Structures are given as structure tokens and as C-alpha cells.
Amino acid sequence: MTATHETSGAEETARKIRVLIAKPGLDGHDRGAKIVARALRDGGCEVIYTGIRQTPQMIAEAALQEDVDVVGLSILSGAHLELFPRIVEELTSRGLDDVLLFCGGIIPEEDTQALEGLGFSAIFRPGTNTGDIVSFVRDNAPAG
């Protein structure tokens, strides 16, 4: 039997992609967020789910404590242009400017550019196949 790895391979447990799924604002239900969380779990990710009604500080603080690679925001209320910049600001002020950001929910086409400018790498609208979200996360999560 031959050794396939000689050094670090023997010592490292497989690195897991850690994803925070958060619902900012006052949306009362989180069905969509939970579906995404489950799909990502089934895709092998470790998903931290924090529940509804999260403020920008709460989201950034959870991202910091959990050392996530990816933050996914789900929003239905229409407050994204108001809340997302504040979330990005809170993340940045904590030194979390390298996380992969995506969002989903009810987000008009005309807001796409603004969100891309904020650093969102993908926007998933209702009807998206959850498999696309999983592939996006797995293909784009920062390494290490």
C-alpha cells in the first residue's frame, strides 16, 4: 500500500464551507431562508442559521463569531437597499471584507447594479433552483 499524502493531508480534517444564512429586517417568515439552509446542508456545507429579525450588527457579529466563509441574506420586505449597505459596513468594520456575499428574495431587477456595487456576487430571485445556489457557494467560497 502506498502513501498518497506525505504531509499535511494526514493532519487535516476536510475543511468545511461555513455559511451564515440570515434574515435582516422585519420579515415575519423564513420559509425561503430555511429551504436554502437545508439545500446547503445537503450540499455538504455547515450552515449557521440565526432566525428572523436580525439587525445589521447582529448579522455581522454572528459572522465574526462563527468565522463564516459566506453570508447569504434573505429579504422579502423591500428594505434591502436600506439594510444591505449597513450590513456590508458592519462586516467591513469587523475585518470581514473577504466573505462571499449573496442575497435572495424579492429584489427588483433595477437594484441589481447597486447590490453588485456593494459586493454581492449573486442575487437569487424566487423560482431559483436551490441547486444553483449550492453550486454558486461551492464554486466561489474563499479558500481557507
Partner 1 sequence: MTDLVERLLAGDRRALSRVLTRVENGTREGRDDLRRLYPRSGRAHTVGVTGGAGSGKSSLTGALAGELRRRGQRVGVIAVDPSSPFTQGAILGDRIRMQDLVLDEGVFVRSMAGRGALGGLAPAIDDVVAVMDAFGFPYVFIETVGAGQDEVEIAGTALTTVLVNNPGTGDDIQALKAGIIEIADVLVVNKADRPGADVLVSQLRALLALAPGEGRDPPILSTVATTGEGVPALVDAIDEHRAHLERTGALGRQRRREARHQVLSTAQRILLERIRAGTSEEALAELVAQVAGRSLDPHTAAERLVGAGRADAG
Nearest-Å Rg of the Cα atoms of the chain is 16
Q: Which of 41, 106, 119, 128 binds partner 1 (CB under 8 A)?
A: 41
Instruction: Tell me if 126 sits within 8 A of 75, measured CB to CB.
Output: no
Q: How far is the CB of 74 from partner 1 (least distance, A)?
A: 14
Cα(100)–Cα(83) distance, integer angstroms: 17
Matching residue, cell 447590490: 115
Q: For residues 78 and 26, is the Cβ–Cβ distance under 8 A? A: no
Task: Indicate whether 86 belongs to the interface with partner 1 (CB under 8 A).
Answer: no
- Does 98 contact partner 1 by CB under 8 A? no
d(Cα 19, Cα 130) in Å, to the nearest integer? Answer: 15
Instruction: Tell me which of 77, 78, 85, 94 binds partner 1, using CB under 8 A.
Output: 94
* DSSP at 8: G
Per CB under 8 A, the list member of 26, 29, 51, 112 interacting with partner 1 is 51
Q: How far is the CB of 7 from partner 1 (least distance, A)?
A: 8
Cell of 58: 447582529
Min dist. Cβ of residue 141 to partner 1 (A): 13
Query: Could you say whether residue 142 binds partner 1 (CB under 8 A)?
Result: no
Q: Does 143 bind partner 1 (CB under 8 A)?
A: no
Helices (H), 43-79: 56-66
Residues of this chain that interact with partner 1 (CB under 8 A) are 1-5, 8-16, 18, 37-38, 40-51, 57-58, 61-62, 64-67, 94-96
